[in-house]
Structure 1
Amino acid sequence: MNEPRFGPRLTAHGASFRLWAPSAKRIDLLLEQPHPLRRGEDGWFSAEIADVKPGALYKFRIDGEIDVPDPASAFQPDDVFGPSEIIDHATYRWRAAGWRGRPWHEAAILEAHVGTFTPEGTYHAMIGRLDHLAATGVTALELMPLADFAGAHNWGYDGVLWFAPDSAYGRPDDLKTLIDEAHLRGLMVFLDVVYNHFGPEGNYLGRYAPAFFTDAQTPWGSAIDYRVREVRDFAIENAVYWLRDYRFDGLRLDAVHAITEPGEVSILHSLSQAVGELATETGRHIHLVLENDDNTAHLLDAVEDPPRGKYRAQWNDDYHHAWHVLLSGETQGYYRDYRRSPLQDIARALGSGFVYQSETSEHRGGRKRGEPSGQLSPNAFINFLQNHDQIGNRPLGDRLESLADARAIEAALTITLLAPMIPMLFMGEEWGSTAPFPFFCDFQGELADAVRNGRGEEFAAAYAKHGDEIPDPLSPSTVRSAVLDWPSLDKEPGRRRLMLVRGLLSIRRNKIVPRLAGAAFGEAHAADNGLLTADWRMGDGATLRLTANLSNRANSHRPSETSGDVIWGDETRGPMPAWSVVWHLEAP
């Protein structure tokens, strides 16, 4: 792999500093005293400074006018406006030194926000809950974005310093300790990264490197121009950095459909290739995952190992949306695309991946969406009933537990956790937590007012319904409300739900996962009476079969007529009870 171009480098006698600032005339490095940087080719400024050690704090002064942190800063002890700190990643001593990861088909993911996962909101506090995840049957912990954001709390999607894990959660070695401890327990750790925009506060790139951006706009700010070599290198180096220096096992790339200038060779392809080189060099399992509203099936290949331009899997929003409509009855916003027959849509997702595979989307103004996906491995889809977006983008940040009957939710979980697709839970979902997860941030001044007002306009109809209940995204009380309610784990109904999820993930681990490599889609059908059936050919030639009654009334179907051994559920010979699920496995 090529030598990284961004960020400081420790040398035998000090450190070398580099900054790409093509629009600047003069750059001074601010340590204990200013040091002028030499301008080189293509807008790079650099200097070798003696006697600089790890822990040194520095900034760059642009044209004598403004002091800025390093855009590739490894740590910001005083938030995004303070100085950058030099970190020596080589000094951390990994305990799980022999960890090489786990194959993708073994993934059972739990998504979490570090700041609200525990009352302390730190990496260290999170370690105390890893045993719970392992005992539940989770095999991968996915962290919402950590790139340094302005303020004390944020979802993470407003990061402006991509290489610096936010100081609100601890120091870099604290994050490494969390990952190390997870690996010692057999848990993979994934990181959510955002390469479609920079956050709105604390980003100075436009002042000295405007070539980072195009005139196009994303829903969250100026689009990034990946046609520029330095910009491509910045993102690719960042991806490799998290995987190499922190030993994350994979990355989930946020909203790649919002990358408007991907370059002649797509940045997604180049990034995947670079990560594949790292995986080959280290002998590790490394997994790349997409969020992509375009349902672009040709970007996915669950079995390409190491990555060579493709991505293991995609978050399957279609699967979530269809279930949400079925369980809650809500049809506003993007849910309108699933209101005709959510049960048929669930069947299609189970039978071939996406629901929208080039069909017309009403929510998107009649535009066709998606590509055929049935030829892909079921492992190319990450299925979920809740995630940070689908909870937090609601007016109150309320979870599915407040919207649907517990029997219906448990039926949905029984299908989601045993189907051959990769399952994902949102933190606390394993015990049916009712703690909300509303949107929150910590901006100041006009930006704070704009966020607050924008949130109010977005949910104007909800204000009329809920009045003053709508959480203020800038209020500390909103963040506190999102902290997981761990005590409810040991009470009913939390205890019962957790036993269900543990039982399902145990069946998955013992019966499903050993057969998942090489699995393929089969047939899936839904009937007007709520009957859902589906089957898949497993990698060892076995057939996995699902029979479910997803309605409030019993139906006449008899699962006992299905061939194979029952691995979950009651093989009733009479009417199939409401919201009941039976899984059969037929040997080859």
Structure 2
Amino acid sequence: MRKTHAFAGSFGATLVAPHQTRFRFWAPSVSSVAVEIEGQPPVPMDRHPDGWFQATAPCGAGALYRYRLNPHLAVPDPASRAQPHDVSGPSQVVDPRAYDWQANDWRGLPWEQAVIYEIHVGAAGGFRGVRDQLARLAAMGITAVELMPLSEFPGGRNWGYDGVLPYAPESAYGTPDELKALVDHAHALGMMIFLDVVYNHFGPEGNFLAAYAAPFFHAGRPTPWGDAIDFRQPAVQAYFTENALYWLMEYRFDGLRLDAVQAIGERDWLVDLAAHVRARIEPGRHIHLILENENNDAGLLRAGFDAQWNDDGHNALHVLLTGESEGYYANFAPDPTTQLARVLAEGFAFQGEEFPTLGRPRGMPTAGLPPSAFVLFLQNHDQIGNRAMGERLGVLAPRQALRAAYALLLLSPQIPMLFMGEDWGSRRPFLYFTSHPPILGDIVRDGRRREFAAFAHFSDPARRETIPDPNHPDTFAASIPDAQEATSTEGRAWLAYTATLLHLRHARITPRLRGARSLGALVAGPGAVAARWRMGDGAILSLALNLGAETVALPDWVAGPVLFQDPPAAGTGGLLAPHSVTIHLAEPAHGG
């Protein structure tokens, strides 16, 4: 028996019979619309209340179509399920029931079991290329793959945050069914798969919404990407809420990571989105909602969202590992050790204190939130790719210090995330890349280079000219992970280190994460912190990390059997050497 899934939304083209499709289009700024299907005469659409247009036409899966607004403008469907000819081309009718799901009984994994691996699909070889990597990742201990955004973007090279058609998987990566096969294969291997979605803006090319749906945007609220999306509009709310459900129900993703939600003005919509998802998803499925949020809004982590990317943790660790202090690292440079201690004890370093580079308070108190409400990382696409030269920590930090921080990452009670290639210690850059038309590409290149003028290393205009052009194909090519790195002596050693740490996590940490609570953290010396937690079964997990240049004394409460140390015997004699870590796990006295 075939196992299929389809999400019926308010927008777009829906097959109602094998050779009959219903089209629904929200265009409150125009008075008439026709749907133009290739090879057929235009079909006038009926106008309905509140700006909706609808028509049913004799066509099936594979048909190409546009919406004709006037003699000079025909646009793709804003809810297009496929764009085989890029963002400005015709949309394509898709039969969501054409794919026969194989791992249909998959229900996901509890959040505490998540070990996340972030992947750029294009740099990994498209949907098929990612699929080919999954068995290796699963065997190593990765339990969740997170795909950078897939919404159709202009050209074939892009991070994904310039997407303009959020229902259409990027055609350069493969077909909708190939994406479903990727998700299906992950589930067959016992892995979750998450999707990064962008609901705070559209890209600069191929977005026609303002031509027919001006109320989609809030003219009085400018953003770096233009007027803000107006989430006060019921149709706008439905467009994005249904998009989330579409990916979770039709494509069977196990969760979503919402990009930069601080740019979404209507916070209540985020709360409503989480509630809608929880209400609509089939009973028994584990679905996880993750935030990126500069506001450190801990309230959202009590309102239906599982976790937030912990930028504070990354920033404090990055300053300790590299000594960098420019840009947003200036907020952490004065005392990164104290801030890292607070991150380990409480999640966020900023919980309402003034953020110096913003000149205003940032964050909310995190009291009562579990460690698993925070996704910790040393590297991700932003923190590497937003650097002028895209350097990874492998070329910025001392190797032994990085090993120690890596052990903290993979063995702390916060949820760990790796970036593609980090598992073998890749030193290959990950740069910012695009494939815009030449004029827009030049604007992006020049603007990016100007952004770095405030950094000391790039204050010289001649040096800024060395920053790679995002639009040049070589910039993308340089960002593709080099598989030969993983087979080198150093790469194999780092892979073995990753596998060892993840085996310990799954065997000794993960089963105890539910119900874990912090018992506090402290500064043990310059660049050194110690922290401990009471795990869900009563066991005490304690760790000490020294990223400084001096040997420090270990607090008495860093005790119990050693779970892991690097270098070996790093914490003997009550002292902790520079660039080392010691982690201990004391079983509960009652045995459970």
TM-score by length of structure 1 reads 0.94
- 2:440 partner SS: helix
- Counterparts in 2 of 1:107-186, with a 5 A limit? 107-117=114-124, 121-186=125-190
How much has 1:575 moved relative to structure 2?
Answer: 4.1
Residues 62 and 92 in structure 2, CA contact (< 8 A), matched pair in contact too? yes
How much has 1:562 moved relative to structure 2?
Answer: 3.8
Q: Which amino acid aligns with 1:449?
A: D
Counterpart Cα distance in 1 of 2:425 and 2:43: 56
Question: Is 1:538 aligned to 2:562, yes or no?
Answer: no
The residue number in structure 1 matching 2:334 is 340
* Structure 2 unaligned spans of 5+: 1-5
Residues 249 and 287 in structure 1, CA contact (< 8 A), matched pair in contact too? yes
The residue number in structure 1 matching 2:34 is 28
Counterpart Cα distance in 1 of 2:463 and 2:489: 28
CA gap of 1:228–1:574, structure 2 versus 1, over 3 A, is closer
The residue number in structure 2 matching 1:236 is 241
- 2:475 partner SS: helix
Residues 452 and 464 in structure 2, CA contact (< 8 A), matched pair in contact too? no
How much has 1:282 moved relative to structure 2?
Answer: 4.2
Residues 144 and 191 in structure 1, CA contact (< 8 A), matched pair in contact too? yes
Provide the identity percentage.
49
CA gap of 1:173–1:527, structure 2 versus 1, over 3 A, is same
The residue number in structure 2 matching 1:289 is 290
The residue number in structure 1 matching 2:487 is 490
The residue number in structure 2 matching 1:387 is 380
The residue number in structure 1 matching 2:315 is 321
How much has 1:221 moved relative to structure 2?
Answer: 2.6
Question: Is 1:377 aligned to 2:379, yes or no?
Answer: no
Q: Which amino acid aligns with 2:230?
A: D
How much has 1:2 moved relative to structure 2?
Answer: 10
The residue number in structure 1 matching 2:572 is 572
CA gap of 1:18–1:531, structure 2 versus 1, over 3 A, is closer
How much has 1:260 moved relative to structure 2?
Answer: 2.1
Counterpart Cα distance in 2 of 1:469 and 1:40: 55
Question: Is 1:65 aligned to 2:59, yes or no?
Answer: no
- Counterparts in 2 of 1:466-505, with a 5 A limit? 466=463, 468-505=465-502
Counterpart Cα distance in 2 of 1:10 and 1:282: 26
Counterpart Cα distance in 2 of 1:558 and 1:490: 40
- Counterparts in 2 of 1:268-287, with a 5 A limit? 268-279=270-281, 281-287=282-288
Query: How many residues are matched?
Result: 571
Question: Is 1:362 aligned to 2:356, yes or no?
Answer: yes
Give deviations 1:20-60, integer Å, cap 9, x for gaps: 1111121111012211111111111111113x111111111
Counterpart Cα distance in 2 of 1:362 and 1:562: 33
Question: Is 1:18 aligned to 2:14, yes or no?
Answer: no
**Which of 427, 434, 437 does residue 420 from structure 2 map onto?**
427
**Which of 401, 412, 415 does residue 408 from structure 2 map onto?**
415
The residue number in structure 2 matching 1:584 is 584
The farther-off stretch of 449-458 and 522-531 is 522-531
Residues 295 and 370 in structure 1, CA contact (< 8 A), matched pair in contact too? yes
How much has 1:435 moved relative to structure 2?
Answer: 1.2
Q: Which amino acid aligns with 1:434?
A: R
Counterpart Cα distance in 2 of 1:10 and 1:144: 29
How much has 1:526 moved relative to structure 2?
Answer: 0.9
Residues 552 and 576 in structure 2, CA contact (< 8 A), matched pair in contact too? yes
- 1:150 partner SS: coil
Counterpart Cα distance in 2 of 1:364 and 1:510: 42
Give deviations 1:426-458, integer Å, cap 9, x for gaps: 100111101111111111143222111101101
Counterpart Cα distance in 2 of 1:361 and 1:583: 32
CA gap of 1:24–1:486, structure 2 versus 1, over 3 A, is same
Residues 542 and 587 in structure 1, CA contact (< 8 A), matched pair in contact too? yes
How much has 1:283 moved relative to structure 2?
Answer: 2.1
Give deviations 1:464-503, integer Å, cap 9, x for gaps: 3845431100100000000001111011211111111111
Residues 558 and 576 in structure 1, CA contact (< 8 A), matched pair in contact too? no
Give deviations 1:537-578, integer Å, cap 9, x for gaps: 11111111112332233334488x743221111352264322
TM-score by length of structure 2 reads 0.94
Give deviations 1:67-118, integer Å, cap 9, x for gaps: 100000000000011111111111211111110000000000011100112x
Residues 26 and 64 in structure 1, CA contact (< 8 A), matched pair in contact too? no
C-alpha RMSD of the superposition:
1.6
- 2:97 partner SS: helix
Question: Is 1:74 aligned to 2:99, yes or no?
Answer: no
Counterpart Cα distance in 1 of 2:575 and 2:233: 63
- 1:152 partner SS: coil
- 1:469 partner SS: coil
Q: Which amino acid aligns with 1:355?
A: A
Residues 74 and 87 in structure 1, CA contact (< 8 A), matched pair in contact too? yes
Residues 351 and 374 in structure 1, CA contact (< 8 A), matched pair in contact too? no
Give deviations 1:349-405, integer Å, cap 9, x for gaps: 00000000111111102x011011132011100000111001011000111111110
Q: Post-superposition, which runs of at least 4 consecutive aligned residues in structure 1 deviate over 6 A? A: none
